[in-house]
Amino acid sequence: MFDFTGRTVLVTGATGALGTALSTRLARAGANTVVAARTGADQLAADLGGPSLGVRLDVTDESDWTEAIARTEARFGPLDILVNNAAYLRVGTTESIPLEEFRRVLDTNLTGALLGIRAAAPSMRRAGGGAIVNVNSIAGLAAAPGLVAYSSSKWALRGLMRAAAKELARDNIRVNAVHPGIIETPLAYGPDGTELVPVDDLAVPRRAAPEEIADFILFAASDRARFATGSEIVADGGFTLGPVA
C-alpha cells in the first residue's frame, strides 16, 4: 500500500502499542526504520529485521536527540521522516494534578516534539527535504476533563506544528498532525483498569486498532500527502461529532 524504500524514518515512543504497529508497517514498506524509545529499542529493531536501528531516546533530553540523529546519519545517511509519537498521560483535574506531573506531561508531549523537530530539521535539509508527523489526540481538539495536563500539551502541540510548518516550508519540509481517537492501548485505561472514555455512544462504537491509526500516519508521512503542510488529520471514529442520539 505504501512504499518507503530507501527512506529513513525515525519513530519516537516506538516500543508502545502504536509505535510498534507503525514501525512494523514502515519496515514492511521498505523503510530504513529507526526505532527510538527509553527502553526496548534494540530488541524491537532486532524483531523488525531488515534495515532497522534501535536507539535509546528520552525525548526530553536534547543530548539524546543529538546522539539519535548522529547514529541515524552514521547508519543510513540524512533523515527523511520523523514521527513524534512519544507521549505521557497522567489523570488529574485542574485543581488536583501535582505540578511536577503537569510539567512532566508537557515536557514529554510538547517539549519532546520541539526538540525532535529542532534536531531533525538540519538532517532533513541535507536530505533535500522531509516530512514530520506529530501524533496528537482528540484531547487536542475537544475538552478533556480529568486530563488537564495531557489536553494542555496536545492543544499546544497544534500551535507548534503550525509554526514549524511555516518556518520549514521553504526547506521542503512538511509538518502535519494526526489526531487519533481512542486506541486500544494502555493509555485508554486508568490505573484501576477502567476505560477513561466510554466508546459505546460514538458513531463508530469501538476503540481503534493501533494498525488503523498507523495507516493514517503513514499517509501523512508519505509522498501521497506532499501537498499538505500545517494540516490535521482526524481519525477519531466520530468522537468529535458527539454521542449518537
In the set 102, 150, 219, 239, the catalytic residue is 150
Beta bridge partners of 77: none
Tell the burial category of 171 from Cβ atoms under 10 Å away from its Cβ (0-12, 13-18, 19+): middle
- Pull the grid cell for residue 198: 466510554
Distances 18 to 11, 13, 198, 219 between C-alpha atoms, Å: 10, 8, 20, 15
Number of Cβ within 10 Å of residue 120's Cβ equals: 26
What's the rounded Cα separation, in Å, for the pair 227 and 231? Answer: 10
CA nearest neighbour of 195 among 180, 182, 205: 182
Give the start-end residues of each E strand in the chain: 8-11, 32-37, 52-56, 81-84, 130-135, 173-180, 232-235
- Pull the grid cell for residue 67: 546522539
Question: Is 189 tagged catalytic?
Answer: no
User: Are the CB atoms for 17 and 185 separated by under 8 Å?
Assistant: yes
> Alpha carbon 134 to chain centroid distance?
5
What's the rounded Cα separation, in Å, for the pair 226 and 224? Answer: 6
Residues labelled catalytic: 150
